[in-house]
Amino acid sequence: MQLSSEELHKALKKYFGFDTFKGNQEEIIQDLISGKDVFVLMPTGGGKSLCYQLPALLMEGTAIVVSPLIALMKNQVDAIRGFIENRDGIAHFLNSSLNKAQTNEVKEDLLKGVTKLLYMAPESLTKEDNIDFLKQIHISFFAIDEAHCISEWGHDFRPEYRRIRPIVDEIGNVPIIALTATATPKVREDIKRNLKMDEAKVFISSFNRPNLYYEVRDKSNPKRDIIKYIKDNPGKSGIIYCLSRKKVEEISELLNINGIKALPYHAGLDAATRAHNQDAFLTQEVDVIVATIAFGMGIDKPDVRFVIHYDIPKSLEGYYQETGRAGRDGNEGECICFYSYKDIQKLEKFMQGKPVSEQEIGKQLLQETVAYAESNQCRRKILLNYFGEDYPQENCGMCDNCLHPKKQFDGMEDMLYVIELINSMKENFKGEQLANILGGVSNALIKSYNQNKLELFGIGRDKGVRHWNAVIRQGLVLHMLDKDIERYGLISVTPAGNAFYKRPHKLMLTEDRDFVDGEDDDDDEESSMENRKLPGTGGGGNDELLAILKGIRSDMSRKLSLPPWIIFSDPSLEDMTILYPITLVELKNCQGVGEGKARKYGQPFVNVISKYVEENGIQRPSDFVMRSAPNKSSNKIFIIQSIDRRIPFEEIANSRDMDIDELLDEIESIVSSGTHLNIDYCIRQNIDEDKIDDIYSYFKEEASSDSLSDAMKELGPDYTEEEIRLVRIKFLSEVGN
């Protein structure tokens, strides 16, 4: 079949109302209708769907569109039916969401020849009865949408996709068009090989989306950050991605409590609820959809103004595709990703026990994500380079790194010390251990290996352990070091690292950004908030006021003979310099400040803040208060009452459908906000008296903060995380409350 350019333009205007094609669309369509295989790489919003929808309407027979997303199928079927008037049955989808009567209705239209587009999930395509049925109809071509799912190196690998080619061969010899918004050169080759499309013409559009702003934020208080951001941008549509269904439900509920219209979207919801929530988002009944990354959205909504990743994605491909749902109309789109190194450690832990080949792929994909998050380079340049495209400019002016460059230093000597240390030891050790050795931390674990006697022990004591952790992480990003996930994160030197050691050269590294890497990112009571300036939002805290508040805390610390962090933590003081509370009621809105702490220690602080605000004419952000979910409040009451009755922790956790870690999170939150809890009955049942004394003494005499990660490093491997957490709760409660 051949059509002239004039005929194609007439059809484009008739069916879709457009006067001109975008980019390579016309050439792609011409190749497909002439019977050629075609491979299309086009970023989200570039017009991929039209590349198979228009040919399907013009060619004889039915085009089979293989798509992994039920949401996308419904969305596209509704859209195509809206374009074509008085053509019932012109587009259908066939998947698990249909009942028997609906399935029969679809098949009747197909047999009549009225259906031009049939959307199918790969699982539906591979069913024998569906294969037998498709042999009875005239198929014009197969469109493999989201083709990256074919590749194990793709961000959303689906094994069923690798069975598509044999089924196409069995049904009939027709053209194939494979389409994806994201594919690295490695993924492209995998797709072409699996679909036997070696002769297919490849059309690659630029991956650059100049209207998108990219930012990575420290995941210190993401819930508060998100709510403040949305309230600062009223009426704008957005998507928030989370890794778990539980977190999706929690964030969705939290947004609604804070007056933001939001709905959840994940695979655990029934089909009717998913369809309702999707339609509510499309019709602007709600402003925000909170969705799982694993399930995906597939919603064609042009005016999504922001995409927020609550959790770091598992791959850059996934991140690029999900952020691509912002600003599809060419107008503004802000892409904010919250990052903490603890999230990376969680994802690494999930990989343990999987087949080695799967681990290796997962590790490399994750390492590329870490490199993106921690890099000081232009984020647009990194993303485009990942997909094999050069970005010629040094400064895009539309990412946090270009707008707010980070400080750099020549890390040649530091990297040489790290490599020398690793190569000098017979065994490999984790990054934290290496950083402690270079930073001169003489804990029990280091002494047990006699590493405190190494020549390099303490050689970088003046720079601190955090600095060495940052150097090691950047060594991993630069592929000079390698982390063995199967062996619990042991660090080794790569050939590239050894080559650098033999021939050192200037090595510009970024100063540590103080990313959260130890405490739980969801613990709003304890965590700190970093307010980075974003177009259209406010700035950070007040350094002058912070110094004054720290002075008050020091005076109070001496008078009461308490560690300063027991009175108010640094994050609490930092929050005071952002929210400017001038009453005890307002003070409770600051992190880690409950009613007990506010009443016991707060009056001098609010007095000074009130005076400072008045003298400096400061306009306070008093309109922003984050409300907590009521179920959390009821949880806290239940937990306090249960502990008063000395009920075993396992029983408390089970009755609230929690695991022990989640229960300890709640208890820590309760204690941090100023409530006294006596958990001695639990501690004595689970921890030896000597250990209790050691941990308690550490927090009383040595600790400079209540950091769990610092405590674990200092106390060593003889003490479990749970033991340290329990005694820390006891200490905070007895000394602070």
Do 599 and 705 lie in a common domain? no
Q: What distance lies between CA 94 and its chain's CA centroid?
A: 32
| Structural domain contains residue 307 | yes
- What was the pLDDT predicted at 531? 33
- In this prediction, residues 11-27 reach a mean pLDDT of 88
Q: Could you report how far apart the first and last alpha carbons of the chain are, in Å?
A: 81
CB of 142 closer than 8 Å to CB of 64: yes
- What was the pLDDT predicted at 536? 30
- What was the pLDDT predicted at 625? 60
pLDDT band per the 50, 70, 90 thresholds, residue 40: very high
- Beta strand 201-204 with 38-41 is parallel
- Alpha-carbon gap, residue 23 to 34, rounded angstroms: 19
| Structural domain contains residue 33 | yes
Do 231 and 334 lie in a common domain? yes
pLDDT band per the 50, 70, 90 thresholds, residue 369: confident
Q: What residues are paired with 101 via a beta bridge?
A: none
Do 18 and 167 lie in a common domain? yes
**Can you spell out the DSSP letters for 320-376?**
HHHHTTS-TTSS-EEEEEEE-HHHHHHHHHHHTTS-HHHHHHHHHHHHHHHHHHH--
| Structural domain contains residue 146 | yes
CB of 189 closer than 8 Å to CB of 310: no
| Structural domain contains residue 531 | no
| Structural domain contains residue 356 | no
| Structural domain contains residue 372 | no
CB of 63 closer than 8 Å to CB of 117: yes
Which SS3 state, helix, strand or coil, does residue 239 take?
Answer: strand
| Structural domain contains residue 377 | no
Do 140 and 181 lie in a common domain? yes
Percent of the chain with pLDDT over 90: 25
Q: Which helix (DSSP H) or strand (DSSP E) does residue 552 occupy?
A: helix 543-560
DSSP state of 399: B
* C-alpha closest to that of 63 among 92, 41, 87: 92
| Structural domain contains residue 625 | no
For the CA atoms of 366, 372, 373, 377, the dihedral, rounded to the nearest 10 degrees, stands at 160
pTM for this one? 0.58
CB of 509 closer than 8 Å to CB of 414: yes
pLDDT band per the 50, 70, 90 thresholds, residue 346: confident
**Residues in the chain, overall count:** 737
Higher pLDDT pick, 567 / 571: 567
What does each C-alpha distance from 156 to 151, 191, 202, 203, 589 come to in angstroms? 8, 13, 21, 22, 40
Q: Can you say whether residue 509 is alpha, beta or left, with left for phi > 0 and alpha for psi between -120 and 50 degrees?
A: beta
Q: Out of 204, 232, 249, pick the residue that ends a domain.
A: 204
CATH number at residue 157: 3.40.50.300
Span 612-646, pLDDT tens digits: 988 888 877 655 566 666 555 567 888 888 898 89
**Phi, psi values for residue 510, rounded to 5°:** -100, 140
- Beta strand 262-265 with 304-309 is unpaired
* C-alpha closest to that of 709 among 691, 724, 726: 724
Do 192 and 239 lie in a common domain? no
Span 482-507, pLDDT tens digits: 877 556 568 899 999 999 999 999 99
Q: Out of 586, 616, 646, pick the residue that ends a domain.
A: 616
| pLDDT over 50 at 155, yes or no | yes
Q: Out of 175, 204, 233, pick the residue that ends a domain.
A: 204
Do 494 and 600 lie in a common domain? no
Which SS3 state, helix, strand or coil, does residue 735 take?
Answer: helix
Do 223 and 192 lie in a common domain? no
Span 377-397, pLDDT tens digits: 789 988 887 777 778 887 899
Q: What strands lie across the sheet with 201-204, from one edge to the other?
A: 91-94, 117-120, 62-66, 139-144, 176-180, 38-41, 201-204
CATH number at residue 599: 1.10.150.80
Span 430-479, pLDDT tens digits: 888 899 999 998 877 888 888 989 999 999 998 888 789 889 878 887 88
Give the least confident one: 225-239, 266-280, 522-536. 522-536
- What was the pLDDT predicted at 113? 87
CB of 497 closer than 8 Å to CB of 480: yes
**Mean pLDDT of the residues in the chain:** 83
Q: How many CB atoms lie under 10 A from the CB of residue 544?
A: 11
Q: Which helix (DSSP H) or strand (DSSP E) does residue 438 occupy?
A: helix 431-439
Domain of residue 579 covers 543-616
Q: Name the range with the highest mean pLDDT among 79-83, 143-147, 199-203, 601-605.
A: 601-605
Span 576-599, pLDDT tens digits: 888 888 988 888 878 778 777 888
Give the least confident one: 361-365, 407-411, 629-633, 660-664. 629-633
- What was the pLDDT predicted at 32? 93
Do 168 and 233 lie in a common domain? no
**CA dihedral sign of residues 345, 351, 356, 362:** negative
**Phi, psi values for residue 654, rounded to 5°:** -60, -40
Do 246 and 319 lie in a common domain? yes
CATH number at residue 727: 1.10.10.1390
Span 228-268, pLDDT tens digits: 899 989 989 999 999 888 899 999 999 998 889 999 998 88
**Phi, psi values for residue 202, rounded to 5°:** -105, 125
Tokens of 215: 């930012």
Do 705 and 732 lie in a common domain? yes
Do 26 and 172 lie in a common domain? yes
Count of structural domains, the chain: 5
Which SS3 state, helix, strand or coil, does residue 188 take?
Answer: helix
Which of 416-420's residues contact partners 24+ apart within 8 Å by CB, and which partners?
416/500, 416/501, 416/504, 417/456, 417/459, 417/460, 418/468, 418/471, 418/472, 418/475, 418/481, 419/475, 419/480, 419/481, 419/493, 419/497, 419/498, 419/500, 419/501, 420/456, 420/501
Do 225 and 320 lie in a common domain? yes
Q: How many CB atoms lie under 10 A from the CB of residue 686?
A: 13
- Alpha-carbon gap, residue 241 to 337, rounded angstroms: 9
